[in-house]
Amino acid sequence: MNDNASPVLFHETLRGLPGWLGTVFVVVGVTGAVVLLLLAREHVAEPVFWLAAGPAVAAAVLAPLAIAMWRLETVVRPGMLAVHLRPFRKREIPLSDVESCEAQKYRPIRDYFGWGWRVGAGGQALTVPGRHGVPLLLRGGARLLISSRRSEELAAVIRSAPLHP
């Protein structure tokens, strides 16, 4: 779908973590990678060292960076709901595939085992810290919960939006 083709009916971007905590994660990850390399500096020239330490160093830097960049962006346009868990997955759902939706409170840890792109007893979920969301029942029986601090507004827009652009 062309993002500029139709007007935005709803837009919300939620941070996965407060900015300061994301910064802490990145600093701790980079510091951990540097410490690992300093402690093993006599082995750095050995190829076997990089087979073991290379993935650990990459994970120590990249995982916190991904967590710090984590955002959930929800956009509703006529005919389309787009949810993007940055920097990872984007999903576009035709509004004609949404059979029902309503705003509700949920418990991310208990219901979906945490935050992010999750699977729980209620189906799939795109969650960030918070307790409000909009569970969707999609054509074919699939379920998807989308975190939203404006869950009442999101559900109302999804229900009232035109099904076609």
What is the mean pLDDT, run by run of 10 residues, along the chain of 165 residues?
75 83 77 79 76 76 74 96 89 96 93 86 88 96 96 97 86
pLDDT of residue 40: 76
pLDDT of residue 3: 54
Beta carbons of 78 and 7 less than 8 angstroms apart: yes
3-state helix, strand, coil in the chain (%, to 5): 40, 30, 30
- The pTM (predicted TM-score) of the whole model is 0.73
37 SS3 class: helix
Please check whether residue 40 is in contact with residue 72, taking contact to mean a CB–CB distance below 8 angstroms: no
Q: For the chain, what are the domain ranges?
A: 17-69, 74-160
CA distance 87 to 71: 7
| Residue ranges in 40-150 assigned as alpha helix (H) | 47-69, 108-112
Strands 116-120 and 104-105: unpaired
CA 152: distance to chain centroid? 20
| DSSP class per residue in 64-116 | HHHHHH-EEEEEEETTEEEEEEETS-EEEEEGGGEEEE--EE--HHHHHSSSE
- Give the pLDDT confidence score for residue 11 in this predicted structure: 98
